[in-house]
Amino acid sequence: MVWFPNCKINLGLHVIDKRPDGYHNIETVFYPISLRDALEIIQSAEMQFEVSGLEVTGNAEDNLCLKAYQLLKKDFPQLPSLKIHLHKAIPTGAGLGGGSSDGAFMLKMLNDKFDLQLSEKALIDYALQLGSDCPFFIINKPSFATGRGENLQTVNLDLSGYKMIVVNPKIHVSTKDAFLKLTPTRPEKSIKEIVALPVVSWKNELINDFEKPVFDSHPAVKEIKDEMYTAGAIYASMTGTGSTVFGIFLKTFEPEFAFPKNYLLVVIP
């Protein structure tokens, strides 16, 4: 079985306050985009895990694909050993949620292949044990997210009439460090209200709170956003805790950039 876990962008991101459990309450709109990894599972005599494509930092045993398998294995001991192959096309530490998507898709794949009959709600509950972004990828539709990001309400938002350009400068941003440099504040206007307005109005209202601390530490990320607007973007923003920046352009517009050759640039038509 081969599935293709996609990533997401954040349309706005506010960090509202710190919770007693150490997490933060946020609000954002998650929007799925078509940059994808590839994930294959094959029944095997023993557990095997392989990764190809872009480099994945950290220990293999910490990968969310394996953690998803182990999480379900506890409750469904009949799950067989698998050979898991993950091909990475979504950069890590980039604010795109690629690792979260891989883990959530593994849950869905196991549920489907081995007929575990888990409901969407049950899959979301398992996904939250993997990480705050993971529940979104169970739904995988534009969603207004609150709490840690697990409280999801789908929103009527379709950007398919625009061209989206996603640029990653190969800079790994630590989510933990980004939170430490941020002072939570309650926004005057909800992101849910802002995204309901025309895209042309987003530039001055739809804000990612992490931009300032990340831009201060990594000026190259700010330069990408500035270049997006110089090239004619209707709206541009960093996604998540960085370092990826996306720009939204008119469908027929052909922007020209002068980014370094080592940057990842993806056009979402």
Residues 188-245 have pLDDT tens digits of 899 999 999 999 999 999 999 999 999 999 999 999 999 999 999 999 999 999 899 9
- Amino acid symbol at 195: V
The residue that leads in pLDDT, 148 or 106, is: 106
Instruction: Note whether 21 and 87 are same-domain residues.
Output: yes
Instruction: Note whether 147 and 117 are same-domain residues.
Output: yes
Neighbour count for residue 110 (Cβ, 10 Å): 24
Instruction: Note whether 11 and 134 are same-domain residues.
Output: yes
Query: Residue range 88-107: average pLDDT?
Result: 95
Instruction: Note whether 61 and 188 are same-domain residues.
Output: no
Q: What is the pLDDT, as a whole number, of residue 242?
A: 86
Q: What is the pLDDT, as a whole number, of residue 128?
A: 95
Lowest mean pLDDT among 52-61, 104-113, 194-203: 52-61
Last residue of a domain, one of 102, 130, 154: 154
Instruction: Note whether 239 and 257 are same-domain residues.
Output: yes
Query: Residue range 117-123: average pLDDT?
Result: 97
**Confidence check: pLDDT of 255 > 90:** yes
Can you say whether residue 37 is alpha, beta or left, with left for phi > 0 and alpha for psi between -120 and 50 degrees?
A: beta
Instruction: Note whether 141 and 241 are same-domain residues.
Output: no
Q: Which residues are catalytic?
A: 8, 133
**Confidence check: pLDDT of 152 > 80:** yes
- Report phi then psi at 71, rounded to 5: -65, -45
Q: What is the pLDDT, as a whole number, of residue 269?
A: 83
Instruction: Note whether 7 and 133 are same-domain residues.
Output: yes
Q: Which of 97, 23, 88 is nearest to 51 (CA)?
A: 88
Instruction: Note whether 11 and 110 are same-domain residues.
Output: yes
**Confidence check: pLDDT of 56 > 90:** no
> How many domains does the chain divide into?
2
We report the CATH number of the domain holding residue 215 as: 3.30.70.890
- For tokens 């709490």, name the residue: 147
Q: What is the pLDDT, as a whole number, of residue 22?
A: 84
Mean pLDDT of the chain: 94
The range of the structural domain enclosing residue 215 comes to 162-268
Angle at 41 between CA 35 and CA 43, to 5 degrees: 175
Instruction: Note whether 91 and 207 are same-domain residues.
Output: no
Instruction: Note whether 240 and 116 are same-domain residues.
Output: no
**Confidence check: pLDDT of 93 > 90:** no
Last residue of a domain, one of 114, 134, 154: 154
For 170-193, give the DSSP string: S----HHHHHHT------SS-HHH
Q: Residue 207 and residue 13: Cα distance in Å, rounded?
A: 6
**Confidence check: pLDDT of 38 > 90:** yes
Last residue of a domain, one of 131, 154, 177: 154
Instruction: Note whether 53 and 122 are same-domain residues.
Output: yes
Q: What is the pLDDT, as a whole number, of residue 2?
A: 98
**Confidence check: pLDDT of 162 > 80:** yes
Q: Residue 184 and residue 130: Cα distance in Å, rounded?
A: 24
Lowest mean pLDDT among 8-22, 55-69, 142-156, 237-251: 55-69
Q: Which of 153, 66, 56, 143 is nearest to 103 (CA)?
A: 66
Q: Residue 221 and residue 18: Cα distance in Å, rounded?
A: 26
Q: Residue 129 and residue 183: Cα distance in Å, rounded?
A: 26
- Amino acid symbol at 221: V
Both structure tokens of 147: 């709490």
Burial of 12 (0-12, 13-18, 19+ CB in 10 A): buried
Instruction: Note whether 119 and 195 are same-domain residues.
Output: no
Query: Residue range 88-92: average pLDDT?
Result: 93
**Confidence check: pLDDT of 82 > 80:** yes
